[in-house]
Amino acid sequence: MAARLSPMGLRVPIHRLRGVAIGERVRIATDVILETAYPEWISIGNDVQLGVRTIVLADIHALRPQFSSAEEQQNYISVRIEDDVNIGPGCIVLPHVTIGRGSVVTAGSVVTRAVPPMTMVRGNPAEPVARLGIPLSGDTKMKEFMRALKPV
């Protein structure tokens, strides 16, 4: 709860303390929920942006994997968000998903399966709508980003 409502500069360190693996230059907006029961099952790369009220679930009881050892459970990653990913506001990311490097998940989308690198997805369930020519980062010019989009 503290991470959800704390100032921007404290959110990442609090989630790291909870066990979420988080890279560098990650921005987590307000009211973001990262898995409450198994935060260590989430891996977030570098230069990732998570929009307001995004929810990332790494565990749904009925879909929980069966582990053969404690070591296997300790090293398990359910949700992997790779480098340079931009997730818009109000998105839901479900367990057993990888969001590939440089991808964009548009506002309100529900990610139920893997997203290929450099792909824009939208909807419920999220479907590819475009291939990206460049990642959408904090210093990307919108005009340049839009020119590099190729519809699917």
Does the predicted TM-score (pTM) go above 0.85? yes
Confidence of residue 93 (pLDDT cuts 50, 70, 90): very high
Compute CA distances 39 → 63, 101, 124, 138, whole Å.
Answer: 16, 21, 24, 26
Please list, in sequence order, all residues whose beta carbon lies within 8 angstroms of the beta carbon of residue 137, skipping any fewer than 6 positions away: 47, 84, 86
Catalytic residue among 1, 7, 61, 71: 61
Is 44 a residue whose pLDDT tops 80?
Answer: yes
Instruction: Identify residue 137 by its one-letter amino acid code.
Output: S
Architecture of domain 2-151: 3 Solenoid (2.160)
Across the chain, mean pLDDT equals 92
Give residue 26's identity as a one-letter amino acid code.
Answer: V
Q: Is 15 a catalytic residue?
A: no
